[in-house]
Amino acid sequence: MTQLPTFPARRSTQFPRLSAAQAASVLACGLATWVSAGALAVVSQTSSGRLGLLPPWWVPVVVAVLLAAALLAAGRAASALPLALTGVLLLPWLPVPVPDAFLVWSGPLTWWIWAGALAMVAARLLRGPASRLASMPARGAAGSAAAIAFLIYCGAAWQVSAVLPGGDEPHYLVITQSLLSDGDIQIENNHQRGDYRAYFEGTLRPDYLRRGQNRQIYSIHAPGLSALVAPAFAAGGYPGVVVFLALVSAIGSLLVWLTAYRLTGSPPAAWFGWAAVTLTVPFFFHAFAVYPDATGAALVMTAVYALVDLEMVPPALRPPSLLRWALHGLALAVLPWLHTRYALAAGVLGACLALRLLGTRAWRSLAALLAIPVASAAAWF
């Protein structure tokens, strides 16, 4: 009996397909992109009619195809649900009479909807890296927080560079130029020469109340910040000052992270506290501006961190570091020179640290803390 040859069974080829939820998300996102790039206006105050102008039809098609390809490559488990939330942007564009409240989903609010949807997508994509970041050693995580803040501040400064410096910023920089070129803070000759034209367009008048007893003009702005940024200005001009201030603010954000971690012992809580302080207004927009606010906040954080650290780890359990306490004292001593309003903060924080060190009989640390502030206070008054 002849045995017939056998052939392997043919495998059924299954092409990847989108799930119903993925397909709906692709459709909603494509159409939302289309209407977001359009313009919508109400015909009149007495009519609910709307007039819309949309970009070419291929815009939503391209967006939908690209998104579908990305989801197919990621597999059926990939979720595009956050992008489906952009479907609310279609409500004002429905070709039927709609409530006036639907118009809230047009105009500037459109970009906030997209920002929220993309933030949720980014959170899903970064879930793995975020968990690894949360499990880093405390000092490494704090350093990462400072690096992230520094990059964000520099990026923000670059974005708004066309309108900066503005306000009182040029006046602080003129004092810096006077210190570097003349070795004083008499600013009249610097204004007459137009030194400020290197970074400021137009005419800048001296900001003062009245002439001094020597008939010279002194700015109403405290010279502390101007002196602090002088090396950066000498090295890189106004851009160098911006980078330096962003670095100081980033160090302040590092201290925020470490302080939150000391208080809670939780890296996620420290990251939340760091973001709540350093990535929100007003600190964010002061971080790279030539104003004393962000620098003052960073210096205040040195004392706050020292107080928290003293509470968590008493001096008796750590080797004495006179340099550390001298640096804390230096930070407190600088504060009144940035602005008179910081004098009270410096005094209160210095008193709290001194009393805490007195209670532990850390005499040498106390002397190191108070040496520079006492000398600075004598000069300031």
The answer to whether residue 171 scores a pLDDT higher than 90 is: yes
pLDDT, position 209: 87
pLDDT, position 380: 78
pLDDT, position 11: 52
Look at 60-69, 276-285, 294-303, 363-372 and tell me which has the smallest mean pLDDT: 60-69
pLDDT, position 59: 81
Question: Where do we find the tokens 């007495």?
Answer: 46
pLDDT, position 248: 97
Helix H, strand E, coil C: the string for 239-308 is HHHHHHHHHHHHHHHHHHHHHHHHHHCCHHHHHHHHHHHHCCCCHHHHCCCCCHHHHHHHHHHHHHHHHH
pLDDT tier at 222 (50, 70, 90 boundaries)?
very high
For the ranges 75-79, 94-98, 99-103, 322-326, the one whose mean pLDDT is highest? 322-326
Q: What percent of the chain has pLDDT over 70?
A: 87
What mean pLDDT do residues 73-80 have? 61
Q: State how far the Cα of 381 lies from the Cα of 377, in Å rounded to an integer.
A: 6
Neighbouring CB atoms inside 10 A of 94's CB total 10
Q: State how far the Cα of 339 lies from the Cα of 300, in Å rounded to an integer.
A: 13
pLDDT, position 118: 78
Tens of pLDDT, residue by residue over 115-167, are 777 777 776 666 655 555 555 667 788 888 999 999 999 988 988 888 889 99
pLDDT tier at 229 (50, 70, 90 boundaries)?
very high
- Comparing 94 with 127, the larger pLDDT belongs to 94
Tens of pLDDT, residue by residue over 1-56, are 555 555 555 554 555 677 787 788 888 888 888 888 888 887 766 666 788 888 88
The answer to whether residue 364 scores a pLDDT higher than 80 is: yes
pLDDT tier at 375 (50, 70, 90 boundaries)?
very high
Q: Report which residue type is found at 144.
A: S
What mean pLDDT do residues 77-92 have? 76
What mean pLDDT do residues 367-378 have? 91
Look at 138-142, 175-179, 371-375 and tell me which has the smallest mean pLDDT: 138-142
What mean pLDDT do residues 228-235 have? 96
Look at 71-80, 90-99, 176-185, 344-353 and tell me which has the smallest mean pLDDT: 71-80
User: Helix 292-312 and helix 322-338: axis angle, to 10°?
Assistant: 150
pLDDT, position 7: 52
For 342, counting Cβ atoms within 10 Å of its Cβ (0-12 exposed, 13-18 middle, 19+ buried), the class is buried
Tens of pLDDT, residue by residue over 240-275, are 999 999 999 999 999 999 999 999 988 888 988 998
pLDDT, position 37: 84
Tens of pLDDT, residue by residue over 301-355, are 999 999 998 888 766 666 668 889 999 999 999 999 999 999 999 999 999 999 9
Q: State how far the Cα of 326 lies from the Cα of 37, in Å rounded to an integer.
A: 57
